[in-house]
Amino acid sequence: MRVQTVDSELITSVRDLRLLIEPEAVRRAVVGGSEGFLGDARRSLETARRLIDEGGDRAGLSLVNRDFHSLLYAGCGNPLMREVLDNLRDRTALISVVAWHDAEGRALHPSEFEWDEHRDILEAAEAGDAEAASRLTTGHIGRFFERVLAGDR
């Protein structure tokens, strides 16, 4: 058995791969226009809004965040790309758990702007603007990892 340590090397490695792969997967999914994926992503976003409004259940938000991202790239048409991203998504969840605590170990809640960024990505996808959805995904992932690496949670 091996315990995964969350350190700057892991964080940087996950960030680099997600930035290379996920925006392209989202772009492909929007171009491909898979049936139902946007409705499922919209429901996921609405669930996140409800959880935030109810006080920000961190475990629930983490699961909804994972679902939202996977719904956006699921229709990319490349099973290996999805498999790699699912693995990275699981590692990102581990990083998030660490990032959502301050230096004294107190639990912090994910910021409201993460929800806003998800909404913007989804709206671009719903409008059929694959390039904007990809670009917004890049920014969203980049900003998350910048906050984590800076310790500004």
- What is the pLDDT at residue 101? 58
CA distance 87 to 95: 13
Q: How many domains does the chain have?
A: 1
- What is the pLDDT at residue 6? 82
Decide if 47 is inside a domain.
yes
CA 15 to chain centroid, in Å, comes to 11
Decide if 104 is inside a domain.
yes
Decide if 1 is inside a domain.
no
Decide if 72 is inside a domain.
yes
Pair of tokens at residue 15: 């960030």
Quote the domain boundaries for residue 52. 8-150
Taking the whole predicted model, whether its pTM rises above 0.85 is answered as yes
Over the chain (153 residues), the average pLDDT of each successive run of 10 is 77 96 97 80 91 79 88 94 94 78 51 84 95 98 88 54
Decide if 3 is inside a domain.
no
Decide if 70 is inside a domain.
yes
Decide if 2 is inside a domain.
no
Q: What is the domain-level CATH number for residue 94?
A: 1.20.120.530
